Amino acid sequence: MRFSLLLLAPILLALSLHAAAPAHAHQPAGEVPSLAPLVKKSAPAVVSITSTGALQEAPPHPFFDHPFFEEFFGDRQRPQRRPRRPRAQGSGVIVDAERGHILTNHHVIDEAQEIKVILADRRELVAELVGADPETDIALLRIDAGSLTALPLADSKTLEVGDYVVAIGSPFGLGQTVTAGIVSAVGRSGLRLESYEDFIQTDAAINVGNSGGPLVNLKGEVVGINTAIFARAGAGGNIGIGFAIPINMARQIMDQLLAHGKIQRGRIGVQIQDLVPDLAAALGTMQQHGAVVAQVLPGTPAEAAGIQAGDIVIEMNGEPVTGSSDLRNKVGLLRVGDAVRLVVEREGALVEIDLAVGESGKVALGAGSEVPQLAGVVFGPLTPSSPLYDELEGEGVLVLEVEEDTPAWNAGLRADDVIVKVNRREVKTPDDILEAVEGTDPPVLLNVRRGDGALFIPIR
């Protein structure tokens, strides 16, 4: 049986390659199956990226603080470690040869002062950062060069589990490397890698340095941007679970960066949670998928449009809503002012609701909007879906969102944190937070639970 299965594998691969015609991957008559034609056509569009950050002082080595060395060096100057510039390596893919546009990951070029791109033909160029979006981990670069090769972009919505894919990049600085596998899953979220998650999971090997490179289908089209791997502590390297950002999401981010130089991300003003079986039974619905509105924030487009707590959002702009992460992704990738049509189930009846995406800066953000130190923070009740719900017995205030470049963000507060005390007073609701800070001087001291740990966060 084992021999027959091994024999069957290349036959299935050959059939899949033949079915993909006129794909670039094919099996000429009389030859063994090969991805070489696909790779030869795709590889010239894949680049290696090196980013260099600002000069940083290296901390003194604790070795030299030992009393022995104090006695040894005496009053003489101790050896000093030279300042260094942090460097990061990754990959990218050319998506517009005429304009020199390259898609990659934000974390590859984060805080970079200089970005260098090495083409497949070994040309080395300095790249310009067009824009980046940390929340989806996408960045867009531009290079000034001729004779470039770009890869076409697929429609990642058509991707199915079991589709063959190829990952191309420069892992560990080895130079361009190709790995192959299948799509293991689609729509992966809840990994807490990024603010907006809708990952493609693949067993095509993705390692350090592959970040930003393309995940390519058998037609030579980009279906995703390779981003992260799952690895056990101490295991290191690839264990067959890698994640890529769907190219449809990356394309939406790229279009906004080209149009505005930044992401004009908006909100509709609802706090939502997944429709789990117990909740569906309690709400008396037969729906199996959707996002339940837990709270409608005041002064938001959702309130003006008549959305109510308990509504189950099952469709947005003609597409099904599978859960809270799915709805959040769909809204978060729209431009401010874009029209939204929701289909919700309310007490057994389907209701259509039209509204427009509002600017996040003009949306009332709950309790935090009344406290300067907490401006830009969205609070909500601690629900059973939180990993800390049982441990905290449902008591605490959940941080749903934290806008970047706000006092709270800069102090280190993040989404999914659970606030248990404010200024040393226990809090169970957003109103408790207001009472705890009323009449006090900055900073606001938060006692926060995060994962398996706890910390204090002072916000000025």
Residues annotated catalytic, as ranges: 107, 137, 211
φ, ψ of residue 142 to 5 degrees: the values are -135, 135
> Which residues lie below 8 Å from residue 322, measured CB to CB, with a gap of 6+?
187, 289, 290
Distance between CA atoms of 32 and 30, rounded to whole angstroms? 7
Distance between CA atoms of 408 and 379, rounded to whole angstroms? 12
Q: Are 228 and 211 in contact (CB under 8 A)?
A: yes
Distance between CA atoms of 133 and 259, rounded to whole angstroms? 14
Which residues make beta-bridge pairs with 112? 53
Residue 309's alpha-carbon distances to 271, 303, 328, 334, 379, in angstroms, are 9, 10, 16, 23, 16
Which residues make beta-bridge pairs with 200? 244
Amino acid at 49: I
Distance between CA atoms of 399 and 397, rounded to whole angstroms? 7
Residue 328, classed as helix, strand or coil, is helix
Q: Are 169 and 41 in contact (CB under 8 A)?
A: no
Distance between CA atoms of 358 and 379, rounded to whole angstroms? 18
As a whole number of Å, the end-to-end CA separation of the chain is 68
Residue 359, classed as helix, strand or coil, is strand
| DSSP code string of 113-130 | EEEEEE-TT--EEEPEEE
CA 439 to mean position of chain CA atoms: 39
Distance between CA atoms of 305 and 267, rounded to whole angstroms? 13
Helix or strand holding residue 248 (H, E): helix 247-260
φ, ψ of residue 195 to 5 degrees: the values are -70, -35
Amino acid at 379: F
Residue 221's alpha-carbon distances to 47, 108, 151, 332, in angstroms, are 16, 22, 6, 25
Q: Are 203 and 241 in contact (CB under 8 A)?
A: yes
Residue 372, Cβ neighbours under 10 Å: how many?
14
